[in-house]
């Protein structure tokens, strides 16, 4: 009932009407406040969440290329036609999140492996000098 009264007879979420923009801003502020209250109660973040934050730009670029493609490839959207039903959308979102978490874990493992190689090369160089 309140949606009809506030948003009008026809609900269009892709419009730029003033009342809809104010409504979206209000929802964003409420969600931001909720996350702020949650963050006050948390003392430390899990390693994977801080790692996702550290590599967020890489995650963003990878998901854009996967979904929409690049100058050289077509994206997943080309095959699905950019139209999914709700179940497919949820499965695609969960799959994309899992894939991005996996990608960050692989980046971390690669950097650790690279560091081990560097340290072992430095040790070998020290032994050669002596």
Q: What is the pLDDT of residues 38-72, one digit of tens each?
A: 888 888 877 878 888 888 888 889 888 888 888 78
Q: What is the mean pLDDT of residues 92-104?
A: 90
Note the pTM of the prediction, 2 decimals.
Answer: 0.60
* CA 95/CA 77 separation, integer angstroms: 14
* CA 22/CA 105 separation, integer angstroms: 39
């Amino acid at each position: 009932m309140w949606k009809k009264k506030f948003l009008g007879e026809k609900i269009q979420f892709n419009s730029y009407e003033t009342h809809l923009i104010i409504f979206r801003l209000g929802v964003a502020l409420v969600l931001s406040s909720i996350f702020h209250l949650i963050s006050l109660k948390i003392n430390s973040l899990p390693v994977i969440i801080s790692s996702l934050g550290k590599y967020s730009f890489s995650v963003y670029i990878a998901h854009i290329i996967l979904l929409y493609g690049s100058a050289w490839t077509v994206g997943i959207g080309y095959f699905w036609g950019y139209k999914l039903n709700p179940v497919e959308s949820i499965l695609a979102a969960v799959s994309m999140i899992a894939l991005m978490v996996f990608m960050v874990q692989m980046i971390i493992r690669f950097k650790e492996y690279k560091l081990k190689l560097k340290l072992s090369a430095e040790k070998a160089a020290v032994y050669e000098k002596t």
